[in-house]
Amino acid sequence: MRFISNAVLSCYLSSNPGLTELEIEDSPGVTELPELPDSITELSVKNCPNVRRLPVLPRSLKKLTVADCPLLKMLRRLPRSLEHLFLSNCIGIKRLPNLPSGVSFLWIINCPGIDHLPRLSRSLKTLWVRDCGGLTSLPSLPSSLRALRVSGIAMLSLPILPHSLRCLAILNCLQIGALPLLPEGLTNLEVVDCPEVKALPEFPRSLSELQVEGLPIEALPALPESLYAFGLIRCPLIASLPTLPGSLEDILVQDCAALQKSHITVWLFR
């Protein structure tokens, strides 16, 4: 909902005391939010370029989205009830407050001022960090984590991956080198445009989808029999493939100059 001023927003809130969801979007006239009712469980503040601070967050809040608020310098203390946190294009924020133990989804996108993350919650299931150039490392990953996606991060290495992890995507991380041991149980793996990755670790037997793109690797580990989707793109140093499993249903090999196309053709028409 668009609000033209702080006064209009305050009037709206006073007229809706039992409000559970509040979305403030495309509202340059709003510079600060008034006190919010405790009934609110979802709060979204998007494209409010003049908002400088948020109020004390409601104790019932479960989902918080803050996007495109460049003058915002910090987030207030997060309530214990919070489960989802989405932060995007907030270039003024330098750090995050402590995460409540119930946070299960955390997205941080294009927040270059953040140079470290707080301790991750024990309930975290999905972590997505993208285009945060000041971030050079991740904290320890909790045993609850199922999906990890990092993109455009200046980190040198990943922490130990938990056994719970099912999906892993590492994209456009220019400084990351060797990858850690992949957990048994991982089903989806993407490694794209990481020029310092010279080799990939052994693939787990559970892997079903694999995409390898823009890597200076010379060979791939053995492909598991569980694999049904495989993409190999812009890997010019790979001259041959390991044995392709019979489970494969979808295969794409593109711009791999050293790889003989006949190797793929024979497999496709066997």
Task: Tell me which residue has tokens 């953040």.
Answer: 114
Q: Which of 196, 190, 189 is nearest to 173 (CA)?
A: 196
- Listed in sequence order, the DSSP H helices in the chain are 6-15, 261-268
pLDDT digit string, tens, across residues 110-126: 999 998 999 999 999 99
The reported pLDDT for the residue numbered 178 is: 86
Please spell the DSSP secondary structure of 3-23, one letter per residue: -SSHHHHHHHHHH-TT--EEE
Considering the entire predicted model, what is its pTM? 0.92
Q: How would residue 1 be classed by pLDDT, with cut points 50, 70 and 90?
A: confident
Among 13-22, 86-95, 147-156, the range scoring the smallest mean pLDDT is: 13-22
Q: 3-state class of 266 per DSSP?
A: helix
Total residue count of the chain as it appears in this document: 270
The CA distance from 12 to 134, in Å, is 38
pLDDT digit string, tens, across residues 24-80: 999 999 998 888 999 999 999 999 999 998 999 999 999 999 999 999 998 989 999
Identify the bridge partners of residue 65 per DSSP, sorted by sequence position.
44, 86
The CA distance from 169 to 188, in Å, is 8
